[in-house]
């Protein structure tokens, strides 16, 4: 099922987004509600907290006194970690139970206020951040929650900033306008991205990269790669020996098709054919059908074998190349990236040739880049640059 992380600063309107997603059909898991449930009166979690911190953290009715507990753990790192060792496993287990109970075609939205702060972004297929100016958030907290302005400012300052949340976001929903405008944005997201993504994920269907024409440059490509790489690293763990941003979108200033190329180094292509392929598919990166290889440089006999995966996310095409670490194809991808990053003149020549080949292609997508002799010459120039600079992958 599609797992979506939803977060935003206090007063941003995250709850309004969550409610609208539920109206569209999402299954909502509220992290705050789960956190309260696992330490409710009579729970094993509350009993362990009392055993660790005494009944001074209980109120007159025997429920957890959060203010009293906060006073104990706020300035004591050891006490805070002890509390987390009690609550976090239970929150994770209960969250997993709720997700497992959802229908197999569900879109499960986890509403997590501190999603970014605790590093959970890579565990979701998609992260939505609700973003609102601090001024608007202060007004809402004072007006709707009855907070004093100083308290509202303190609560906002205690959370991470918009820049860090934005870096973790696949989708940013601006909520400085009307509720109707927010609902329209959520509805469009549900219709155009979330529902198709869920269907693609369940069917293990790759989103086609789209047209073959260059689309210019996008300064957000490195950030997009970083989010993809974090998900892949979370999915594969130590089986991914190395993860790199490669291809044209990895070279600053180089116009390219809007497809992020990612290279994963593996110890064996046989491993890539088994459990690794399933894990990647479940994480939103299904395997591309067919056999895949790279043409060797310089041109000659043989092929550089690899495995190729794509993306199930309709808004983020990806080519995920699994290559044997240390293999010629793995090294070539890194060499050409670093060579083009280092030489602006060669970047310009490379881009012009690609455009010429696209214009001359007999059919869309058939640019002929793998067969043009210029690329063999460029490879030799890159090898000379590597020798002169002492480059190593």
331 SS3 class:
helix
Q: Which two tokens stand for residue 22?
A: 């539920």
Q: Which two tokens stand for residue 268?
A: 């064996």
Distances (CA, A) of 306 to 4, 290, 363: 30, 11, 25
Q: Which two tokens stand for residue 281?
A: 């598919």
Residue 245 pLDDT? 98
Position of tokens 């979690």?
45
CA distance 297 to 361: 22
CA distance 203 to 287: 11
DSSP H stretches of helix in 245-305: 269-272, 275-282
Closest CA to 128 of 138, 120, 136: 120
CA distance 127 to 5: 5
364 pLDDT band, cuts 50/70/90, is very low
Q: What is the pLDDT of residues 113-133, one digit of tens each?
A: 889 988 999 999 999 999 999
CA distance 6 to 14: 8
361 pLDDT band, cuts 50/70/90, is low
Rg (CA), the chain: 25
294 SS3 class:
strand
27-30 vs 107-111, strand pairing mode: parallel
Q: What is the pLDDT of residues 175-215, one digit of tens each?
A: 999 999 999 999 999 999 999 999 999 999 999 876 545 56
CA distance 162 to 180: 23
pTM, entire model: 0.88
Closest CA to 155 of 16, 10, 6, 7: 10
The one-character DSSP state at 208 is: P
Q: Which residues contact 387 (CB under 8 A, 6 or more apart)?
A: none
Q: Which two tokens stand for residue 327?
A: 């293999």
Q: Is the pLDDT of residue 369 over 70?
A: no
> What integer is the mean pLDDT of 277-305?
90
Q: Is the pLDDT of residue 365 over 70?
A: no
Q: Is the pLDDT of residue 2 over 70?
A: yes
Q: Is the pLDDT of residue 353 over 80?
A: no
Residue 69 pLDDT? 87
Residue pair 132/9 in contact by the 8 Å Cβ criterion: yes
Q: Is the pLDDT of residue 10 over 60?
A: yes
137 SS3 class:
helix
CA distance 35 to 77: 20
Residue 269 pLDDT? 93
Residue 214 pLDDT? 57
Give percent above pLDDT 70 in the chain: 93
């Amino acid at each position: 099922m599609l797992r979506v992380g939803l977060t935003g600063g206090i007063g941003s309107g995250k709850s309004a987004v969550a409610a609208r997603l539920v109206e569209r059909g999402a299954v909502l898991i509220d992290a705050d509600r789960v956190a309260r449930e696992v330490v409710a009166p009579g729970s094993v979690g509350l009993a362990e907290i009392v055993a660790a911190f005494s009944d001074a953290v209980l109120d007159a009715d025997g429920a957890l006194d959060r203010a009293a507990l906060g006073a104990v753990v706020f300035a004591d790192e050891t006490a805070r970690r002890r509390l987390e060792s009690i609550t976090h496993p239970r929150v994770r287990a209960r969250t997993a139970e709720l997700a497992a109970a959802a229908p197999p075609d569900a879109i499960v939205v986890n509403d997590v206020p501190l999603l970014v702060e605790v590093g959970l972004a890579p565990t979701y297929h998609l992260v939505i951040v609700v973003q609102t100016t601090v001024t608007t958030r202060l007004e809402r907290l004072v007006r709707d929650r009855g907070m004093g302005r100083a308290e509202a400012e303190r609560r906002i300052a205690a959370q991470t900033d918009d820049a860090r949340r934005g870096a973790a976001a696949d989708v940013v929903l601006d909520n400085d306008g009307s509720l109707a405008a927010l609902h329209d944005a959520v509805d469009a997201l549900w219709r155009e991205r979330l529902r198709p993504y869920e269907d693609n994920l369940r069917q293990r269907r790759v989103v086609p990269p789209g047209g073959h024409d260059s689309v210019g440059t996008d300064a957000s490509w490195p950030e997009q790669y970083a989010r993809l790489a974090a998900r892949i690293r979370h999915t594969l763990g130590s089986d991914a020996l190395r993860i790199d941003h490669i291809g044209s979108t990895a070279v600053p200033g180089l116009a390219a098709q809007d497809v992020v190329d990612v290279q994963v180094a593996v110890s064996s292509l046989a491993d890539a054919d088994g459990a690794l392929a399933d894990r990647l598919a479940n994480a939103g990166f299904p395997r591309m059908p067919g056999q895949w290889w790279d043409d060797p440089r310089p041109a000659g006999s043989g092929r550089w074998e690899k495995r190729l995966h794509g993306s199930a996310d309709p808004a983020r095409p990806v080519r995920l190349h699994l290559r044997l670490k240390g293999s010629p194809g793995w090294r070539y991808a890194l060499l050409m990236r670093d060579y083009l990053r280092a030489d602006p003149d060669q970047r310009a020549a490379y881009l012009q040739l690609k455009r010429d080949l696209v214009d001359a292609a007999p059919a869309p997508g058939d640019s002929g880049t793998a067969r043009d002799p210029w690329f063999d010459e460029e490879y030799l120039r890159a090898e000379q640059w590597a020798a002169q600079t002492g480059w190593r992958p």
